[in-house]
Amino acid sequence: MAIEIERKFLVSNKQYKSDASEQVRITQGYLNSAPERTVRVRTKGAKGYLTIKGLSSESGTSRYEWEKEIPLDEAKALLALCEPGVIDKTRYLVPLGQHTFEVDEFYGENQGLVVAEVELSHENESFGKPLWLGEEVTGQSKYYNSVLMRRPFSGWQ
């Protein structure tokens, strides 16, 4: 079983863009957005992916994740079957030391939200924190993409 271990942060400024080694546009939807078993379909550049994630740990840091690359045309067809609320974002990859931060800049109803994640090998692993890294939001479900598609950032008050 593959376990994803990551921490999530808000981003305090746009410095990450000049630090990024690459960027890619991502469109994703959910065939199932139940927290116990999300099933995500994603187009990432010219590739398609199907991902299944399990329930997060109590800390929100780890959960089961299975991902498989699928043909782009199949991913686009599956997106048409997804629950309402497609996520549209650009992902910036920002290397720092032995880690790479994935910084997601959201569009559409989530415009204005920028979130960074760093994957770790264990929950207590230390990592360098760039100056643009803001408040930690690990485990706060409102920042999960599967929740943002139902309750977008633009509606928060």
Which one from 16, 30, 143, 144 is the annotated catalytic residue?
Answer: 30
Residue 75 has pLDDT above 90, yes or no: yes
pLDDT for the residue numbered 36: 92
| Largest distance between two CA atoms of the chain | 40
Region 118-125: mean pLDDT is 95
* CATH fit for domain 3-155, picks 1.20.1250.20, 2.40.320.10, 3.40.50.2300, 3.20.20.70: 2.40.320.10
In a 13 Å sphere around the CA of 134, the CA atoms on its Cβ side amount to 13
Domain boundaries, the chain: 3-155
Indicate the pTM of the whole model. Answer: 0.95
At residue 147, the pLDDT reads 96
Distances (CA, A) of 118 to 74, 110, 148: 29, 21, 19
Mean pLDDT (the chain) is 96
Give the pLDDT confidence of 11-34 residue by residue, as tens digits: 999 999 999 999 999 999 999 999
User: What per-residue confidence (pLDDT) applies to 1?
Assistant: 55
Whether 16 is catalytic: no
Q: What percent of the chain has pLDDT over 70?
A: 99
- Rounded Cα distance between 68 and 66, Å, is 7
Q: State mean pLDDT over 140-154.
A: 96
